[in-house]
Amino acid sequence: MDRPRIEVMGGYVLVELPTGYVATALKPVDVIKGISEACEEGQCRNVLITGKNVRVNLSVVDLLNRAQHVDELKARIAVVAEHDLPLKDVKFLEDATSLGATKIKLFDRIDEAKAWLGVE
C-alpha cells in the first residue's frame, strides 16, 4: 500500500498512511480530495490520521500552504503518527489551523485523539 487508505467509520473518517509514507508538497491534493469525499459520504467532519515512520519533507511555507488547503474541509483532524516533524513545526501547524475552519492536533495515543474528536 503506497497510498493512504481512507475509510468511513462511526462518526469519523480514518486515514491510514502506509508505513514509511513521505509527506511532500505535491501530495496533499489527492489525499484532501479523498478525505473530503469520505466526510461527505459519512456525513461527518472528524478525521483521524494514523501512520508509522512518516517522513515529512515540508518546509514551514509548505506546512502553511497545506493548512490552507485543509481548511476547506472544515473538519477536526487528529493525527497519531510516528513522524520526523520537529516539535516547533508541530506547534506551528496546530497554531496556524487554530483560527481557521479546520483544526489539526497531533497526539501520541489514539484514545487521546478520539477523545478530542468526541468519537469512540
Query: Could you tell me the three cell numbers for 90?
Result: 508541530
Q: Give the mean pLDDT of 4-19.
A: 93
Phi then psi dihedrals of residue 43, to 5 deg: 50, 50
To the question of domain 5-117 being in CATH 3.30.750.24, the answer is yes
CA torsion, ordered 68, 33, 105, 7, to nearest 10 deg: 180
Q: For the chain, what are the domain ranges?
A: 5-117
User: 25: helix, coil or strand?
Assistant: coil
Q: CA–CA distance from 28 to each of 23, 42, 62, 110, 116 (Å)?
A: 8, 21, 10, 23, 23
pLDDT bracket for residue 111 (50, 70, 90): very high
**Averaged pLDDT score across all residues of the chain:** 86
What per-residue confidence (pLDDT) applies to 23? 79
Say if residue 115's pLDDT is above 90. Answer: yes
Cα–Cα distance for residue pair 20/74, rounded to 1 Å: 28
pLDDT digits (tens, 9 = 90+) for 17-56: 999 888 776 666 678 889 999 999 999 999 999 999 888 8
